[in-house]
Amino acid sequence: GGMLAAGLLLLLLAAGPGWAGAEQARRDVLREELLLSPLPAGDLAATFQFRTRWDADLQQGEVSHYRLFPKALGRLVAALGVRELHLALTQGFWRTRVWGQPPLQAPAGAELWVWFQPTVTDVDKAWKELSNILSGIFCASLNFIDSTNTVTPTASFKPLGIANGTDHSLLRYAVLPREVVCTENLTPWKKLLPCGSKAGLAVLLKAERLFHSSYHSQAVHIRPICRDASCLAVSWELRQTLTVVFDSFSSGQGKKDWSLFRMFSRTLTDACPLASQSKVYVDISPKSKEEELLEVTPTPASVHEAIVQGDKRTYAVYDLLSPSLFNTSRSLNVQLKWKRPQDSSELPTPILHAQRYVSGYGLQTGEISTLIYNTHPYRAFPVILLETVPWYLRLYVHTLTIITKGKENKPSYIHYQPAQDRKRPHLLEMLIQLPANSVTKITIQFERALLKWTEYPPDPNHGFYVSSSVLSALVPSITAMKHVDMEQSPLFTSLFPSSDGSSYFVRLYTEPLLVNLPTPDFSMPYNVICLTCTVVAVCYGSFYNLLTRTFHVEEPSRGRLAKRLANIIRKFRGVPPL
């Protein structure tokens, strides 16, 4: 009896740590990071990244206890069979030519692209449910995503997490270019953060400063990643990124010196207690070899060097979790001062940038032109262009021309899915080779359709938006890049998987277009119905008369009232009667 009890006790003791170990295996880790990069012309870009990595398999459905990973998103992923989800809400346009290559760009409006698991049978139904649920979570009108603006790309948007196979029928992509981003989209986004906006870097996210900027983009990315180097198990990663560009004229009141207080009207006081890492990086890369451009106060504790997007960059690092940071003052207000004024000749041109515009006159036809620039001096590389055009701009694919350096450039892969009226948009995907140091011009003509009067938005003469086209490319980098370990390196280097060190992945978006369509007169429905039916009735009446009546000799009628009256009047006048 006693021996049995002691044995049971031993067993329990042995199993105890096992349970604790099982709890530990489901651990989740939060890292937060702020990257401040000064842009040419005195603007400043601030990129926040909050990354929660959870070592649990959401698909198996065995999780019920959510700690750092938000429950709304976790349940969504599990219930609808989502493998990858990327949602971005953006206001403004990233000017690649002036500001350089963006760390992560998003098109103006709302963009949602999702890879579903192969177990999902009805992808379109899952997509519709997903967009409705996300519309509720983020207070954005994502419920307007339907078949008229959803496409299934065949070459772009490959999965960013681990994937077993790429069956493109599981991918859906939609953009709502007319979507406006404002405070009520920021608030639910902040609520998903483990610390909310009460501690850590998220205290800087105050709406009245964030929306007073040239570019504001907030995004949510969920993807599965390898748990460790052997990649035997899957972890789920949630990244929330927010990029904002402060304009030196509107936000900085004309002065080019920046500080956290001037940008966000707040300073950092502590790190989020739930975070395992909380850092601020400031890009202090020297533009020329002689001297540095920026002076940063307070003096950074360490300096980090990395090769980002083909360039060697130097970052000043402030670790909010290190106890020595808040020794001297209770708050951290990073200040940047320009040491010497910048001239515009130092503006580096990014290797790949693009531009898109609409040309033509009148409301009948038009032409969409896309210009893609490859400024690399000696390397050529291919780029995948994805264009989604709404159905009411009828593209004529026989007018598609691609001209590089004056000669025709034939794409090596072209996938064109024509639109169907009121059902799906045009999808044009092409793989184009860009020779070194060249400009490629892609033009396609379209015809504008007349819509039914109920299909026009409330302000029809504002025009209709055509969503940005997407350029995906592996740009050859000037400096060779090393493979980055996702856990050790800063977050801004590990967003896109890199296959080899000689090129980096870039996804660019062009400008959205605004196109006018001919409008009918909206005040006229009753009038139009009456007039057209009158014309038809004229025909019907004439034909009815001619078909059903025959000619007769007219009989003189007698005793007509009108004739009698006329005769009476004639008698008064003295004129002979009729």
Partner 1 sequence: VVEGLALLDLGVSPYSGAIFHETPLIIYLFHFLTEYAELVFMITDVLTAVALYLAVQDINKVVFKKQKLLIELDKYAPDVAELIQTPVEMHYIPLKVALFYLLNPYTVMSCVAKSTCAINNTVLAFFILATIKGSALLSAVFLALATYQSLYPLTLFAPALLYLLQHQFIPIKLKSKSFWLYTLQYAALYLGSLVVIICLSFFLLNSWNFIPSVYGFILSVPDLTPNIGLFWYFFAEMFEHFSLFFVCVFQINVFFYTIPLAIKLKEHPVFFMFVQLAIISIFKSYPTVGDIALYMAFLPVWSHLYRFLRNIFILSCVLIVCSLLFPVLWHLWIYAGSANSNFYYAITLTFNIGQILLVSDYFYAFLRREYYLTHGLHLTRQDGTEAMLVLK
Instruction: List contacts with partner 1 (CB under 8 A).
Output: 361-364, 391, 394, 396-398, 414, 416-422, 447, 449-454, 518-521, 524-525, 528-529, 531-532, 535-536, 538-540, 542-543, 545-556
With CA atoms as reference, report the closest residue to 85 among 147, 170, 151. 170
For CA atoms 570, 571, 575, 578, the dihedral sign is positive
Q: Minimum Å distance from CB 106 to partner 1?
A: 29
Instruction: Answer whether 312's CB lies under 8 Å from 305's CB.
Output: yes
SS3 435: coil
Cα–Cα distance measured from residue 102 to residue 297, given in angstroms and rounded to the nearest whole number? 25
Instruction: Answer whether 272's CB lies under 8 Å from 32's CB.
Output: yes
Cα–Cα distance measured from residue 401 to residue 369, given in angstroms and rounded to the nearest whole number? 10
Nearest CB to partner 1, comparing residues 262 and 424: 424
With CA atoms as reference, report the closest residue to 175 among 105, 117, 242. 105
SS3 300: coil
Q: Minimum Å distance from CB 193 to partner 1?
A: 44
Cα–Cα distance measured from residue 235 to residue 28, given in angstroms and rounded to the nearest whole number? 9
CB atoms within 10 A of CB 27: 14
Q: Degrees (nearest 5) of the Cα angle 271, 277, 282? A: 80
With CA atoms as reference, report the closest residue to 447 among 352, 382, 526, 518. 518
Q: Minimum Å distance from CB 557 to partner 1?
A: 11
User: Could you tell me the two tokens for 8?
Assistant: 């049971």
Nearest CB to partner 1, comparing residues 303 and 363: 363
User: Could you tell me the two tokens for 153?
Assistant: 């790309």
User: Could you tell me the two tokens for 565?
Assistant: 């009256």
Q: Minimum Å distance from CB 556 to partner 1?
A: 7
Question: What are the phi and psi torsion angles at 453 (to 5°)?
Answer: -65, -25
Nearest CB to partner 1, comparing residues 345 and 454: 454
Q: Minimum Å distance from CB 129 to partner 1?
A: 26
Q: Minimum Å distance from CB 170 to partner 1?
A: 21
Q: Minimum Å distance from CB 365 to partner 1?
A: 9
Nearest CB to partner 1, comparing residues 192 and 432: 432
Nearest CB to partner 1, comparing residues 281 and 391: 391
Nearest CB to partner 1, comparing residues 23 and 421: 421
Nearest CB to partner 1, comparing residues 445 and 468: 445
Nearest CB to partner 1, comparing residues 14 and 547: 547
Assess whether the previous peptide bond of 118 is cis (omega < 30° from 0): no
Q: Minimum Å distance from CB 515 to partner 1?
A: 14
Instruction: Answer whether 235's CB lies under 8 Å from 224's CB.
Output: yes
Q: Minimum Å distance from CB 538 to partner 1?
A: 6
CB atoms within 10 A of CB 408: 8
For the chain, the residue count is: 578
Q: Minimum Å distance from CB 472 to partner 1?
A: 21
Q: Minimum Å distance from CB 444 to partner 1?
A: 11
Nearest CB to partner 1, comparing residues 259 and 516: 516
Nearest CB to partner 1, comparing residues 450 and 480: 450
SS3 116: strand
Nearest CB to partner 1, comparing residues 398 and 573: 398
CB atoms within 10 A of CB 86: 20
Cα–Cα distance measured from residue 244 to residue 58, given in angstroms and rounded to the nearest whole number? 31
Residue corresponding to tokens 């198990």: 233
Residue corresponding to tokens 């307007």: 144
